[in-house]
Every structure is written in structure tokens, then in C-alpha cells.
Amino acid sequence: MSWDISIMKFSRQFESVADIPDDEKLQVLGTRSSVRETISSIFQGTNWSGPARGVWNSHSGSIEFNLGENDPSEGVRLQVRAGKEVAPLIVELCLSNGWQGFDYSSGDFIEKSEAPESGHESWSSYRDQVIGSDE
């Protein structure tokens, strides 16, 4: 199980998913190589085991980055298995590149949220219900 976020780029910044018009098209984030470099600049030490997959490990867990099959890349899927303290790094990644991160747990763009870690809290609560909590 993971806290899932999809990073995309649109023709302009949207405040919420509801604001995206039906005819909006995804923009290119960059070449796989440039997207890997951009991610690695914030998530230093990411291990890119292939052109489309990287894993970042920290003391609180890991994040798997999936760039997809297309080059140039139109999106990145994050599978977060780390503590909520990674939320500001994900926000930084989005804001510094004009990208938007859709948080599947909250239904919001993580970089627009007043509490970007709220999706992680929802996900971890659900996870604890499903697999049980040690607490």
C-alpha cells in the first residue's frame, strides 16, 4: 500500500481539479533524463534502476517514482511509503517546476493545499484499518 500522487503539467495552474476544463491537454514535463535530474535535485540519492523508475530512501521510508513509457514524459506517479514529513519536499518539487501534484487520498492538488500532509494522514488511517496498527 502506498500514498499515491500523480504529478502533471497543464497549460496553466489550476486551484482545484474541478477547475480543469474538459478540453485541457497535459503538457510535457520534460525528457525522462531531465525529469530524473529534476527529481534527484530535491530527492537526492534517488536510485534510478531504469529509465522510467527510481526509488528514494530515507530514514522514514521510501518514494517510488514512475515516469511511464513515453519520452518525453507527461507525468510522474509517486508511490509514497514514507512519513508525512516528505509532503513539503513533494510540494517543493511541484512549485519549483510549475507542476501540479494530484493527491489521490485528498482529491486535491498537494501544492495548493493548506495542509499538504492531510492526504498522507487519510491514507495512513485507511492503511491502519486494513492492516492493523501497532498502536
pLDDT tens figures, 14-72: 999 999 999 999 999 999 999 999 999 999 999 999 899 999 999 999 999 999 999 99
| C-alpha torsion sign, points 3, 126, 117, 13 | positive
Distances (CA, A) of 129 to 22, 55, 76, 122, 123: 36, 26, 28, 11, 10
1-22 per-position pLDDT tens digit: 899 999 999 999 999 999 999 9
Give every CB contact of residue 114 below 8 A, 6+ residues apart in sequence.
none
Domain ranges of the chain: 3-131
Helix (H, G, I), strand (E, B) or coil at 13: coil
Which CATH number applies to 3-131?
3.30.310
3-state secondary structure 21-44: CCCCCCCCCECHHHHHHHHHHHCC
Of 120, 102, 133, 117, give the one whose Cα is nearest residue 18. Answer: 102
* Helix, strand, or coil (residue 79): strand
